[in-house]
Amino acid sequence: MKAATDTIELTFERTIPASPTQVFEGWLSPKVSGTPWNIAEKLSLDPKIDGFFYLHVKGISHYGRFTEVESPSRIRHTWVSPNTLGLESIVTLTFKKQGADTIMTLAHSGLPDTPEGRKHEQGWNYFLNTFPEQFGKASREEK
Amino acid sequence: MDRLSDVLTAISHPARRAIIGQLATGPARFLDIADRHDTALNAVTKHLKMLERAGLIEREKRGREVIISFRGEPLREVAGWVHDYERFWIERLDQFEQHFRDKKKEKKK
C-alpha cells in the first residue's frame, strides 16, 4: 500500500497599521491590493460559513469553502488547487489588536510536500529576484 | 524548529529581508541597522535574533563594538525547498501590508 503524501504547514505573520476590523474587512475585499481575490481573472466569493469561492489566476483554478468567519478576529477556509493534488488544504487567518496595529497571522496547512510543490528552479528565481546582491556575492565567494 | 523552518521563518518578514538587503552591501553596527529601519529598537533586536538563529547573520566583537555580517549559505541551502505557496503568500501579504501603510501615509498628509 502506498504511503499517504506528507503534508506541510506554512505560517506567516504581519503587523498591519490598522484596526482588526479594517484588516479583517480588507482581507475579504477583492478591491484591496494583496488579497488573493485582488489578482483574480475570474472570481466568485461568498465569505460566510459554508460559502464558496472560485478564484482563477494565471490559468489555474482554485476553489474553497469558508468554515469560520468571525469578524474581526478569525477566518478559516479550505483551499483546493492542482498544487494541493485536489486535496482540501486549510487556510487560517487571525487578527489580533496590538495598540493601533493588528497582528495578522496566516497559516496554510495540509499542503502536500511534493517536488511539484517546491520547484527547485522557481525557488532559485525567487531568491535571485528577492536578494540579487547577496546571491551574486555568495556565488562569487564560492568560486 | 529545524534549520529549514528557521530560515524560511526568518525571510518571511519584510523587515528582516530589508535587514538582509542592507547587510548584503557590507557589515554594519547595530545602531547603523536600527537607524535604517522605521521600527523600535527592541523589534530590531528581535529580528536580528531570528536571523542569527537561522544562521543568516553573525556577530563579531571588535573592541567595544559588535559588527553584524550577512551569511548567504543558509539561503542557498533552502532555495530548493521553497514551496509555491510560500512565494504566493509572501507576495500577497507584502502587498496587503503595503496597502495599509500607503493608506496611513495618505491620512497623515
CATH number for position B43: 1.10.10.10
Residue numbers in A near B72 (CB within 8 A) = 134-135, 137-138, 141
Q: Is residue B99 situated within a structural domain?
A: no
Residue numbers in B near A124 (CB within 8 A) = 79-80
Strand partners for A10: A108
Q: Is residue B97 situated within a structural domain?
A: no
Domain count, chain B: 1
For residue B13 the three cell numbers come to 518578514
Q: Is residue B96 situated within a structural domain?
A: no
User: What percent of chain A is modeled with pLDDT above 70?
Assistant: 76
Instruction: Tell me the ipTM for this assembly.
Output: 0.78
Does residue B100 sit at the A interface (CB-CB below 8 Å)? yes
Residue numbers in B near A104 (CB within 8 A) = 93
Residue B92 and residue A14: Cβ atoms within 8 Å? no
Give me the pLDDT at residue B5, please: 78
Give me the pLDDT at residue B49, please: 94
Q: Which domain holds residue B66?
A: 3-79
Q: Is residue B86 situated within a structural domain?
A: no
Domains observed in chain A: 7-112 (3.30.530.20), 117-143 (no CATH)
Restricting to B residues 18-57, those with a Cβ less than 8 Å away from any Cβ of A are 20-21, 24-25
Q: Is residue B92 situated within a structural domain?
A: no
The tens-digit pLDDT sequence of chain B (109 residues) is: 577 778 888 888 888 888 988 887 789 998 889 888 777 888 899 999 999 999 999 999 888 888 999 888 787 667 666 677 887 888 899 889 999 999 988 887 7
Looking at chain B, list the stretches that DSSP marks H as alpha helix, in order from N- to C-terminal side.
3-10, 14-23, 30-36, 41-53, 73-78, 84-108
Q: Is residue B106 situated within a structural domain?
A: no
Give me the pLDDT at residue A5, please: 67
Per-residue confidence band for A1, with pLDDT thresholds at 50, 70 and 90: very low
User: What percent of chain A is modeled with pLDDT above 90?
Assistant: 54
Q: Is residue B102 situated within a structural domain?
A: no
